[in-house]
A = this chain, B = another copy of it.
Amino acid sequence: MLVVMKKDATPRQIERVIAAIEGQGLTAHAIPGAQRTAIGITGNRGSLDRNLLETLEGVFEAIPVSKPYKQVSREWQPEDTLVDVKGVVFGGKSLVVIAGPCAVESYEQCRTVAQAVKDAGAHLLRGGAFKPRSSPYSFQGLGEPGLEILARVREEVGLPVVTEALDPEGVDLVEKYADMIQIGARNMQNFSLLKRAGRSSLPVLLKRGMSATIDELLLAAEYVVSEGNPNVVLCERGVRTFADHTRNTLDLSAIPAVERLSHLPIVADPSHGTGRRDKVVPMARAAVAAGADGLIIEVHHDPAAALSDGYQAVLPDMFRDLMAELGQLAPVVGRELRSGTAAAS
């Protein structure tokens, strides 16, 4: 923290600010300047509040310095974290592609889509049994029967499964049936859920909230990691802005930003990130070109009949073409795209 005094601050005001800082067990370093004095603070334990200091007389502004997260930072651990989901590894050289329907609607639908994405080379199967929907009148997911379908399809098709939990009880169920817990954008700061996920043995796919900064995303991950679960994969899925040509604004610069600040892997979700089928493929390519460790993509064999978000699902054919493009693109950015079977072996 750095405290900048007003130009006309009196020596007595400066002394009182120093006393306030030292009263908290911290060390104050006065830096007299041509126009004004600044006061550096060390020994910072995260307890000192910027705005608090600004209420003292003579203070112009207080500026935070240290980042508020610890264990997820690259300073804490320089080397990349590898997150292993039943042999599929996020954060290494191989791109990981998660694909499947937005929601599990039936065994037939889930099986059809799962087989299609497996054949196209996907590494993990996605599909929601619990759906967070803005309206109470929208389809809310099949619940536990949806998880049973996912577990059955997993065995038959041979893809590990990631699926969303909306609350701590949901985590209990996801642990029973699936291989990775997804925490959605609306729940990025549902701290009860984050803490429960932090006590799980399953890896976590944590999506960025619609108006979350990168610092807040990393702090949400810190909630999980600080409870004992180091296996967190972050996900950029679009933020909310004034722009109205897509459902959200996919902020791909989050990928190099996270890579610089944290050792955790990060994937992109161009399906929710754009909300429009015709933009999913270009933005999927762009995410990989920006350095993403993987993608999560909604695929549906009959989007017009989908019970949720059908307009953003790509068709199996489009997905297969995309995988072929990614196979060409990966080496350009020093990556590789192994087939789902190979990756899991």
- Chain A positions within 8 Å of B, measured between CB atoms, are 2, 4, 6-8, 20, 29, 31-35, 38, 40, 42-44, 46, 49-52, 54-56, 61, 63, 65-66, 68-70, 75, 132-138, 140, 166-170, 186-187, 189-193, 210-211, 213-216, 219-220, 222-223, 226-227, 239-246, 249-257, 260, 273-279, 282-283, 285-291, 303-304, 306, 309-312, 325, 328-329, 331-333
- 16 additional A-B pairs beyond A166-B191, A245-B254, beta carbons within 8 Å, are A38-B65, A49-B309, A51-B310, A51-B312, A54-B276, A134-B189, A134-B215, A186-B189, A213-B242, A239-B242, A253-B283, A257-B279, A260-B278, A282-B289, A282-B291, A286-B289
A138 contacts across to B, CB distance below 8 A: 46
How far is B288's CA from A288's CA once the two chains are assembled, in angstroms?
Answer: 11
Tell whether, in the assembled complex, residue A282 and residue B290 are in contact, meaning their CB atoms are under 8 Å apart. Answer: yes
Give Cα A277 to B53, complex, Å: 12
- Taking the closest CB of chain B, its distance from the CB of A81, in whole angstroms, is 18
Q: Judge whether B251 and A243 touch: CB under 8 Å.
A: yes
**A211 and B210 within 8 A (CB):** yes
**Which of A136, A246, A251 has the most CB atoms of chain B within a 10 A radius of its CB?**
A136
Inter-subunit contact A243/B239 (CB<8 Å)? yes
Copies of this chain in the oligomer: 4
Contacts of A311 in B (CB 8 A): 49-52, 54-55
**Does the CB pair A40–B38 fall under 8 Å?**
yes
What would 12 A/B residue contacts be, using CB atoms closer than 8 Å?
A6-B75, A31-B42, A35-B66, A54-B311, A134-B189, A170-B192, A210-B211, A211-B239, A241-B251, A250-B251, A285-B290, A329-B329
Q: Give the distance in Å from the alpha carbon of A265 to the alpha carbon of B55 in the complex.
A: 24
| Nearest residue, chain B, Cβ from A165 | B192
Q: A243 to B216: give the CA distance in the assembly, Å.
A: 11
Complex Cα distance, B136 from A219, in Å, reads 7
> CA of A168 to CA of B167 in the docked complex: distance in angstroms?
9
Closest Cβ of chain B to A131, distance in Å, is 9
Return A303 CB to nearest CB of chain B, in Å: 6
Shortest CB distance A159–B (Å): 26
Chain B nearest Cβ from A309, distance in angstroms: 8
Given known A-B contacts A38-B2, A241-B239, A310-B52, A333 and B285 have beta carbons under 8 A apart:
yes
| Closest 5 pairs (CB-CB, A-B) | A51-B311, A33-B42, A211-B211, A289-B289, A286-B290
Contact B49 A310 (CB under 8 A): yes
Contact of A40 among B7, B31, B220, B306 (CB under 8 A): B31
Q: Which residues of B contact A4 (CB under 8 A)?
A: 65-66
Residue of B nearest to A168 (CB): B167
Q: Which residue of the partner chain, among B42, B252, B277, contacts A286 with CB atoms under 8 Å? A: B252
Say whether B249 contacts A239, CB under 8 Å: yes
Please indicate the chain B residues that have their CB under 8 angstroms from the CB of A312 in the complex.
51
How far apart are A52's CB and chain B's nearest CB, in angstroms?
Answer: 5
Could you say which residues of chain B place their CB within 8 Å of the CB of A169? 192
